[in-house]
A = this chain, B = another copy of it.
Amino acid sequence: MERSLIQSIAATLPAAGPRVVRGIGDDAAVVRSGGKLCVTSVDAIVEGVHFRLEDGSAGPFAGSPFDVGWRALAGALSDLAAMGAKPGEAYIALGVSREAGEAQALELMRGAAELAAVTGTVLAGGDVVEAPVLTASVTVVGWAQDERELIGRDGARVGDLVGVTGRLGGRPRRPRPRLEEGRALARAGAHALIDISDGLATDARHIGESSGVCLEIELEKLPLGEGVESRELAATAGEDYELCVCLAPDDVERAQGQVQMTGVELTWIGRVRQGAPGASFLDARGDECSLEGFEHRW
């Protein structure tokens, strides 16, 4: 549903005007404000759709209300990371169900506040409403001095190397959005950057489609999280909040150095070539393989 609806919505909206540098279709919107750029992203999570409160069930993210609040803010901040923006403020619209009540809602906010403190983000406002299930819609605002500091998903070029931060498939309970890593990759000359919270397979395809190129990724090279055995699952599971970057071979060393200073690994997993816009995945023998069956659908 989501994809075609977003396209229909974008088609009904008028052109955005000169203040809007990037509108619908990237990780975040970018608006010019005085001498600065204001980078804004919205990420909503809904109980029963994106998460369940701690009950051990499989499927979507399961955690305590504190974890859910952390995860809600992490999702939005990860979009800023994927632009190379510096985080500023966050605003949370909280939908509180009768079942959740004030206590769980407050725990959710405490989780968000904890990640806000860790990342230097200020929780500056929001709204609290009644809702049938626990819901958090997070708007984050980041800032940049110059348009060249910000990296979209549409700039990948044939010949670029494809890299990924951290390890995949681990689905951490309290993911760290890769804000410093995003800015480091932007400084190192990244051509395209995206966060892979929907899974590497989906998000690499988004870079390819937006850039008009094909990202060819070798499954054997994926850095797997602890206890993760299936490379196909690591490529499709989502909830990782790592970044995928496309970068000219000449800039690889600089990027590697800058990202390593943050304590996070940067692994080269493929390369950008001509071809049908999107992404293709190669197995250990170098044959193209389909990840269709693995695409997670909650």
Enumerate chain A interface residues (CB-CB to B < 8 A).
1-2, 4-6, 8-9, 12-14, 16-17, 19-20, 23-24, 28-29, 31, 33-36, 38, 40-46, 48-50, 88-89, 91-93, 95-96, 102, 105-106, 109-110, 113, 117, 122-133, 135, 137, 139, 141, 143
On whether the beta carbons of B49 and A141 are closer than 8 Å, the reply is no
Bound Cα distance A113, B10 (Å): 11
Contacts A2-B130, A23-B124, A31-B141 known; 4 new A-B pairs at CB < 8 A? A36-B36, A42-B92, A44-B131, A93-B139
A47 (CB) vs chain B CBs: closest residue? B132
Bound Cα distance A95, B44 (Å): 8
| Residues of chain B within 8 A of A110, CB atoms compared | 12
For A137, give its contact among B17, B89, B124, B137 (CB under 8 Å): B137
| Residues of chain B within 8 A of A46, CB atoms compared | 95, 129-132
| Residues of chain B within 8 A of A40, CB atoms compared | 89, 91, 124-125, 139, 141
Bound Cα distance A125, B131 (Å): 23
| Residues of chain B within 8 A of A88, CB atoms compared | 19, 31, 33
Bound Cα distance A272, B288 (Å): 75
Given known A-B contacts A44-B129, A102-B1, A16 and B135 have beta carbons under 8 A apart: no
On whether the beta carbons of A128 and B24 are closer than 8 Å, the reply is no
Bound Cα distance A38, B141 (Å): 10
Given known A-B contacts A16-B124, A93-B93, A128-B6, A44 and B137 have beta carbons under 8 A apart: yes
On whether the beta carbons of B126 and A12 are closer than 8 Å, the reply is no
| Residues of chain B within 8 A of A9, CB atoms compared | 106, 109, 126, 128
| Residues of chain B within 8 A of A92, CB atoms compared | 42
On whether the beta carbons of B35 and A38 are closer than 8 Å, the reply is no
19 A-B pairs within 8 Å (CB atoms) are namely A2-B130, A5-B102, A9-B106, A9-B109, A13-B113, A17-B122, A19-B88, A24-B125, A28-B125, A31-B122, A31-B141, A33-B36, A34-B34, A36-B36, A42-B127, A44-B129, A44-B137, A131-B135, A137-B137
On whether the beta carbons of A93 and B33 are closer than 8 Å, the reply is no
On whether the beta carbons of A123 and B13 are closer than 8 Å, the reply is yes
Q: Which of A106, A113, A124 has its CB near the most chain B CB atoms (within 10 A)?
A: A124
| Residues of chain B within 8 A of A127, CB atoms compared | 42-44, 137
Q: Closest CB of chain B to A154's CB: distance in Å?
A: 15
Bound Cα distance A105, B126 (Å): 23
A3 (CB) vs chain B CBs: closest residue? B128
| Residues of chain B within 8 A of A135, CB atoms compared | 95, 131, 135
